[in-house]
Amino acid sequence: MNTQSTLIRNHTFVFHASGALFWSEKSMLLISDVHLGKVSHFRKYGAAVPQNAIARNFELMDEAINFFKPEQLVFMGDLFHSSLNNEWKFFEHWMATVISKVTLVAGNHDIISSLKYENLGIEVVSEMVFDDFLLTHHPEDRKGFFNFSGHIHPAIRLRGTGRQSLRLPCFFKSTNQMVLPAFGAFTGSHVLEPKNDNEVYAISEDAVFKIELNKGGGKHRS
């Protein structure tokens, strides 16, 4: 598994190709926008969504957890897409295998009662603060803090010669903020146009690579 890392305010953060981010000093794994239940929700209304997309979400979470073995696992909002459906049972069984302390930073899609999560040993909060780091679901600009968030489902469009282009999910960093990609296998993405002060780490299959930004605003792979 190829990984990349970056240093933010003297803390090391490691990018994983699943879309997870590992905070080394805290032994904390950050995962955003899994949207469990979305596949079942769309299949219920006749959408031709592959059933194996459900299992893929849990497989990816296991891959990231087994790779880093975090003491803490933080879901950065939109863990479930909507109300309860049969994927909750899968989640219950999966949670029984997790030994990390689990926290959910609630997002706009997290409408399931917090009591359901608490019964599984998951703490539900609106945000988390560690020194000068702020963890939220929606991106937030708060003076003095570096903000980690989700919600946007960031992606980058790479253009080659001619009309070729490639759209990839990414970690999108600005001076005081990093937006994590959507972790879920059926979530969609929103293309962002980077400026020269941004850092972009794109995900392709089992690799994470930094996109080098040209002074003219162009992009190329490092």
Q: What is the per-residue pLDDT for 190?
A: 84
Q: How are beta strands 177-179 and 146-149 bridged, if at all?
A: parallel
Strand pairing partners for 125? Answer: 105
Q: Could you tell me which CATH number the domain at 4-221 has?
A: 3.60.21
In tens digits, what is the pLDDT along the chain, a chain of 222 residues? 677 999 999 999 999 999 999 999 999 999 999 989 765 444 454 444 556 667 888 999 999 999 999 999 999 999 986 656 788 999 999 999 999 999 999 988 788 999 999 999 999 999 999 999 999 999 999 999 999 999 999 999 987 666 777 889 999 999 999 999 999 766 667 899 998 889 999 998 889 999 987 644 455 554
Model pTM above 0.75: yes
Q: What is the per-residue pLDDT for 87?
A: 85
Strand pairing partners for 64? Answer: none
Strands (E), the chain: 4-8, 11-15, 21-23, 28-31, 72-75, 101-105, 122-125, 128-130, 133-135, 146-149, 154-159, 165-174, 177-179, 190-191, 199-204, 207-213, 219-221
Q: How are beta strands 72-75 and 28-31 bridged, if at all?
A: parallel
- Cβ burial of 114 (10 Å; 0-12, 13-18, 19+) is middle
